[in-house]
């Protein structure tokens, strides 16, 4: 299974008590798929995997795969700085029906290139039928996968691609040169989605697509149709949203944005906390400008749910509220 296009890195919603909110997660998955997303990633950085327990990690992965119902492929985040734990998560992902395995570069323990090679090789060979995508994100893991190491790893049969969050647009050109066009490259930086496609990429594992899945999928579809004018238009529309969602550490801004859209609570597990008030204002302005939220007090109200299931107008709603008839 080849991953390409707009692939949201799915958030993990929480209740106020910080238990995983599977109801909101299920609704969000449907929302992403119904708005054209080409795949999903479970339990990545955006899914707050570092603060999920081992059991929660597996439950969330299983749930996303089952809820997707084969409508789109699911890539399971199975990365860890413990090779043994990654092997366990990878085996579980494969048995659950995942179509890809996303492995982040080990963080904190800073292995050498030999250690990195053995780490990825061991995990890949533990589930030989599950395609592996390396996750190169030096901003979080400290270590950057060199293009020579990526080339060496690409010789392992089921290591088929990389998520590149380096924001260095020369990297996909060099990886294509070293590994060939069949090696799949996915951007891990929303702001470089279009530029990454131009540099030989196949899509984007996206934070922004949680908020604007239709626009993100349309950008890729327009690229496939070679409609560069529409690509540029969408890229410009998405620019302020991409900027707003990374003012502070992700996924804090996207969680707040989605709470404003009534898709989840604005709850994160420590050490992550909600964004500052100044950031909230920036996100609010962006969402309103893009018509993703409204100033209207009636947004989100189902006018068929009141008064014996008969539809009521906003004017009637105001009257009923003032008259305390609800």
Q: 194-214, pLDDT tens digit by residue? A: 999 999 999 999 999 999 999
Kindly report, residue by residue over 278-297, the tens digit of the pLDDT.
999 999 999 999 999 986 54
Which pLDDT value is given to residue 306? 42
Q: Is residue 111 part of a domain?
A: yes
Q: Is residue 220 part of a domain?
A: yes
Kindly report, residue by residue over 249-259, the tens digit of the pLDDT.
999 999 999 99
pLDDT at 316 over 80: no
Contact call for residues 165 and 189 (beta carbons, < 8 A):
yes
Q: What is the DSSP letter of 14?
A: B
Q: Is residue 23 part of a domain?
A: yes
Which residue shows structure tokens 């597990």?
269
Buried b (16+ CB within 10 A) or exposed e, 241-257: bbebbbbbebbbbbbbb
Which pLDDT value is given to residue 132? 98
Q: Is residue 275 part of a domain?
A: no
Which pLDDT value is given to residue 43? 98
Q: Is residue 179 part of a domain?
A: yes
- Catalytic residues, by residue number, are 135, 163
What's the angle, vertex CA 146, arms to CA 247 and CA 134, rounded to 5?
70
Q: Round to whole Å and give the CA distance between 119 and 311.
A: 60
Q: Is residue 291 part of a domain?
A: no
Kindly report, residue by residue over 33-71, the tens digit of the pLDDT.
999 999 999 999 999 999 999 999 999 999 999 999 999
What's the angle, vertex CA 167, arms to CA 254 and CA 93, rounded to 5?
60
pLDDT at 222 over 70: yes
Please give the radius of gyration of the chain, using alpha carbons only, rounded to the nearest integer. 21
Percentage, residues of the chain above pLDDT 90: 88
pLDDT at 267 over 70: yes
Instruction: Count the neighbouring beta carbons within 10 Å of the beta carbon of residue 17.
Output: 7
Nearest to 267 by CA among 9, 18, 26, 45: 18
Q: Is residue 281 part of a domain?
A: no
Q: Could you list the residue range(s) of the whole structural domain that residue 183 is in?
A: 5-236
Whole-angstrom CA distances from 324 to 112, 317, 319, 320, 321 are: 68, 10, 8, 6, 5
pLDDT at 299 over 90: no
Which CATH number do you get for residue 40? 3.20.20.70
Which pLDDT value is given to residue 2? 85
Torsions phi, psi for 74 (to 5 deg): -115, 130
Kindly report, residue by residue over 227-254, the tens digit of the pLDDT.
999 999 999 999 999 999 999 999 999 9
Kindly report, residue by residue over 145-182, the tens digit of the pLDDT.
999 999 999 999 999 999 999 999 999 999 999 999 99
Question: Alpha helix (H) ranges present in 137-276?
Answer: 138-141, 147-154, 171-179, 193-198, 213-224, 228-244, 252-260
Q: Is residue 253 part of a domain?
A: no
Q: Round to whole Å and give the CA distance between 32 and 18.
A: 23
pLDDT at 30 over 80: yes
Which pLDDT value is given to residue 294? 85
Give residue 303's pLDDT band: very low, low, confident or very high (50, 70, 90): very low
Q: Round to whole Å and give the CA distance between 211 and 205.
A: 13
Give residue 101's pLDDT band: very low, low, confident or very high (50, 70, 90): very high
Give residue 305's pLDDT band: very low, low, confident or very high (50, 70, 90): very low
pLDDT at 134 over 50: yes
pLDDT at 309 over 90: no
- 3-state SS class at 101: strand
If one counts the domains in the chain, the total is 1
Structure tokens at 260: 């404003």
């Amino acid at each position: 299974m080849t991953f390409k296009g707009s692939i949201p890195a799915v958030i993990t919603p929480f209740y106020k008590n910080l238990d995983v909110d599977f109801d909101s997660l299920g609704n969000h998955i449907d929302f992403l798929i119904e708005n054209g997303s080409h795949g999903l990633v479970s339990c990545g950085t955006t899914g707050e995997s570092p603060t999920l327990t081992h059991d929660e990690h597996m439950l969330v992965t299983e749930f996303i795969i089952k809820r997707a119902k084969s409508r789109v492929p699911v890539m399971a985040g199975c990365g860890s700085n413990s090779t043994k734990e990654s092997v366990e998560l990878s085996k579980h992902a494969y048995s659950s029906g995942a179509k890809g395995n996303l492995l982040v570069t080990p963080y904190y323990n800073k292995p050498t290139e030999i250690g990195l090679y053995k780490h990825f090789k061991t995990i890949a060979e533990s589930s030989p039928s599950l395609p592996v995508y390396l996750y190169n994100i030096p901003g979080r893991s400290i270590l950057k996968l060199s293009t020579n190491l990526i080339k060496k790893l690409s010789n392992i049969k089921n290591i088929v691609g990389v998520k590149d969050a380096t924001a260095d647009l020369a990297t996909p050109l060099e990886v294509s040169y070293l590994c060939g066009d069949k090696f799949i490259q996915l951007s891990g930086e929303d702001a470089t989605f279009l530029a990454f496609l131009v540099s030989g990429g196949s899509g984007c594992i996206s934070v922004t697509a949680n908020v604007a899945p239709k626009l993100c999928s349309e950008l890729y579809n327009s690229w496939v149709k070679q409609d560069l004018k529409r690509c540029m238009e969408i890229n410009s529309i998405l620019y302020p949203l991409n900027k707003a969602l990374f003012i502070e550490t992700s996924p804090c801004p996207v969680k707040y944005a989605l709470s404003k859209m009534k898709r989840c609570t604005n709850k994160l597990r420590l050490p992550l906390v909600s964004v500052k008030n100044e950031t909230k204002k920036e996100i609010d302005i962006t969402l309103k400008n893009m018509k993703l939220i409204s100033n209207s007090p009636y947004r989100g109200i189902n006018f068929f749910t009141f008064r014996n299931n008969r539809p009521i107008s906003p004017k009637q709603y105001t009257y009923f509220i003032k008259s305390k008839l609800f």
